[in-house]
Structure 1
């Protein structure tokens, strides 16, 4: 089964203080790393802004969802994001792991301690 990574994140003061040019340079650097992740089979499913009107909405501002073919690719994604300097600019919560189907997840929930 594939592995998935979901990120929830909000801008830190360092991001808010960054000039438009500084932000663009950061985006360019992030974009240049994407081909290497794609070569590992890392696939972006979606990015977005958290809809705060939804019941039990996350307090973070943004989200990202990724699919990876295996644990090695997932680790490369998480490591690459950290190495990019992302966490200097964004408070991030990561939720990643091996995917399962509905029955498998019910088993996981049933076995929760």
Structure 2
């Protein structure tokens, strides 16, 4: 069963203080890592900016949603993000786990303690 990672993140002062060239270099390095993730079966579903006008909107500025074929690929994704230096520049909240269908999730909710 596929595993998913949803990231919510906002820029830290270190990112805001980074000169434009430094930002471009960092983002280019992030982009160059994508083929390695694809080789593991990691798929980017979408990136975006959080719409703060929506009811119960997250306080973070941006989001990313990833699909991984298994827990091993998910761990590689999370580790790769950390190793990139991402967390030096962005406050991030991760929600990750195995995906399920509606009936499975309703069962999970029903069993919640």
TM-score by length of 2: 0.99
Give CA deviations for 1:51-109 in whole Å, capped at 9, x if unaligned: 00000000000000000000000000000000000000000000000000000000000
Structure 1: tracts of 5 or more residues without a match: none
Q: Which residue of 1 aligns with 2:7?
A: 7
SS in 2 for 1:107: helix
| Alpha-carbon distance in structure 2 between the residues aligned to 1:11 and 1:20 | 14
1:27-46 → structure 2 map (5 Å cutoff)? 27-46=27-46
Task: Report the TM-score, using the length of structure 1 for normalisation.
Answer: 0.99
Alignment-derived partner of residue 55 in structure 1: 55
Runs of 5+ consecutive residues of structure 2 not aligned to the other structure = none
Residues paired across the two proteins, number? 113
Q: Provide the alpha-carbon RMSD of the alignment.
A: 0.4
